[in-house]
Amino acid sequence: MSLEGLHEEALELQPDTVALRRRLHERPEVGNDLPITREAVLESLDGLPLDITLHETTSGISALLTGGRPGPTVLLRGDMDALPMTEDTGLDFGSKTDGHMHACGHDTHTAMLASSAKILARHKD
């Protein structure tokens, strides 16, 4: 697969990536207990050939994609939590949770990681 081909795949997924980012942005959660965020991420990964492990005391998610050939393991990691601050951006998808907002980009990183998992799963062999 060429870089151009991967770029095209990413562009195809862009509407889903943006939709997930906005969904997460609207419902920010602070700390390690992020049930709304966790559910949104799990829904976005549903149907992919991933071995999912859910952290027992936090909302952490680990998703392992096993490739078709031996080789090194690559780790993609992101945070999902928001910050304890009020959003005043005026965005139509702005925070609906008083006193919490995604001002640090974790919503964007999480959405991009979910889309990356989709692309990597297409090319796991």
The total number of structural domains in the chain stands at 1
Distance of CA 108 to the CA centre of its chain: 7
Residue 1 has pLDDT above 80, yes or no: no
Give the structural domain span for 43.
3-67+74-122
If pLDDT is split at 50, 70 and 90, which confidence band does 7 have? very high
- Read off the tokens for 64: 């392992």
Instruction: Give the domain CATH number at 111.
Output: 3.40.630.10
Q: What is the mean pLDDT of the chain?
A: 95
Do residues 31 and 101 lie in contact, with contact meaning Cβ atoms separated by under 8 Å?
A: no
Q: What is the pLDDT of residue 2?
A: 81
pLDDT tens-digit map of 30-46: 999 999 999 999 999 99
